[in-house]
Amino acid sequence: MVTLRAYGKSDPGLKRANNEDAFLVRPELGLFVVADGMGGAAAGEVASQIFIDTAFEVFSNTHPSEQEKSQWIQEVFSQANERILRYAIENPHHQGLGCTAELITFDDQNYILGHVGDSRAYLFRRGQLKQLTRDHSFLQEQIDQGLLTPEEAKNHAMRHVILRAVGIEETLALDLLRGKALTGDLFLLCSDGLTDMVEDSEIQNILLSSLRLEQKGEALIEIAKLAGGKDNITVVLCEVIE
């Protein structure tokens, strides 16, 4: 079983009055989550917290095998999706609430990652940063089809249009990713409040520094705020010690 060190922090940023992001760091469960709420005043916060609560509830029940853990990730997304939809029915003034979500867990020498939306998961390994997830967004679709360049997408009017989120439709398509976790690996889960403001190269430089894990997390949030802090900013760092 891998030994993990982790740190998480969320900041409202400089332009938003409230924070619709939520995160969970539970090394004893091998569970790390970032959820970015959508739907405006209060509703986004509700959706992201429902996802966090569901993840903790599912993973607190037992210590599953790797196969079961992947099933439990699917259960978290499925249950959270149903609960958010039900909340919207019971609270019509919050119609349209939902959240993006990243959930990573570990078993033996492997990581298993669940992803929906435009929050992201990265792997920093041997000095190189790699984006593990693909944004479920309109602009990513345009980039994939060769209709836009990544540079053109940065300031596009539709850059915040996402195509997949938890709590929007009854059927939820989940990206489930797996891989080996090596000693020294550093995983970053983050909301788009970081990646919309900060280039991957800047993130890599911070993770490459000699700062402690907590200081790296704080530095990522600060650099996003220095760039304008237009959205809530949440980061979870998870380091494989051995």
Q: What residues does each domain of the chain span?
A: 4-240
> Which of 7-16, 17-26, 120-129, 138-147 has the weakest average pLDDT?
138-147
Question: Which residue from 118, 233, 126 is spatially nearest to 186, judged by alpha carbons?
Answer: 126
Which structure tokens are listed for 184? Answer: 């020294």
Over residues 165-191, mean pLDDT = 97
Is domain 4-240 annotated with CATH 3.60.40.10? Answer: yes
Over residues 178-206, mean pLDDT = 97
* pTM score over 0.85: yes
Cβ burial 144-170 (10 Å sphere, 16+ → b, else e): eeeebeeeebeeeeeeeebebbbbbee
pLDDT per residue as tens digits for the range 27-77 = 999 999 999 999 866 689 999 999 999 999 999 986 666 668 999 999 999
**What Cα–Cα distance (Å) separates residue 90 from each residue in 57, 85, 94, 123, 184?**
22, 9, 9, 39, 46
Q: Among positive and negative, which fits the CA dihedral 227, 204, 32, 166?
A: positive
Integer Cα distance of 184 and 131 in angstroms: 17
Classify 30 in phi/psi space as left (phi over 0), alpha (psi -120 to 50) or beta: left
State the first-to-last Cα distance of the chain, in angstroms, to the nearest integer: 9
Q: Which residue bears the tokens 């990513």?
A: 140
CA atoms within 13 A on the CB side of 122: 23
